[in-house]
Amino acid sequence: MTELTHFDQFGQAHMVDIAAKSSTKRIAQATGSIRMSPQAFAMLDNPDNRKGDVLGVARIAAIQGAKQTANLIPLCHPLALTHIHVDFEKDESQQRLSIYVTAETIGKTGVEMEALSAVSIGLLTVYDMLKAVDKSMTIESIYLVQKQGGASGEFKRTQK
């Protein structure tokens, strides 16, 4: 069984010591989605929304979310991110918007939490911007798609 790394031998929470690790290129991709009413979905492409460009603001929020991960999740190390890429995919038949975030760094620890935080903040921003039209939107299926680099090697999710 794999040991949890955020607890010491006494069961106390601590930040993992990464001093002896080598710096390597680390990449992580995460995704998630939000379902909404047809009326809210139609507003995703409307630049005349009262709050502005929904996807443009959500993209910036996702990037900001990745950058703030260490401030939000207590035991995460602050990272110097080298790149954040944010894409959206719309599924009109399901009134679902999906977000895909790829986070990259060269460092001693991975960027999975940054990618997952970015997805979460991006989706919450979509909710915030469209809640006047649809308060019943549902954020769902936030997960790590893949990661590369580090001692644990590569991970690729094989099923949703």
Read off the CATH number of the domain in which 128 is found. Answer: 3.30.70.640
Give the pLDDT confidence score for residue 160 in this predicted structure: 61
Give the pLDDT confidence score for residue 73 in this predicted structure: 94
Helix (H, G, I), strand (E, B) or coil at 70: helix
Residue 157 in any domain: the answer is: no
Residue 112 in any domain: the answer is: yes
Helix (H, G, I), strand (E, B) or coil at 62: helix
Task: Give the separation between CA 156 and CA 123, rounded to whole angstroms.
Answer: 22
Task: Give the separation between CA 60 and CA 47, rounded to whole angstroms.
Answer: 16
Residues with catalytic function? 128
Task: Give the separation between CA 119 and CA 159, rounded to whole angstroms.
Answer: 19
Domain count, the chain: 1
Task: Give the separation between CA 77 and CA 71, rounded to whole angstroms.
Answer: 9
Is-contact 130 91, C-beta < 8 A? no
Residue 57 in any domain: the answer is: yes
Whether pLDDT at 64 is above 80: yes
Q: Look up the domain containing 70 and give its range.
A: 24-148
Residue 13 in any domain: the answer is: no
Residue 102 in any domain: the answer is: yes
Give the pLDDT confidence score for residue 2 in this predicted structure: 65
Whether pLDDT at 1 is above 70: no
Residue 153 in any domain: the answer is: no
Whether pLDDT at 51 is above 70: no
Place of tokens 């999740």: 73
Residue 18 in any domain: the answer is: no
Residue 117 in any domain: the answer is: yes
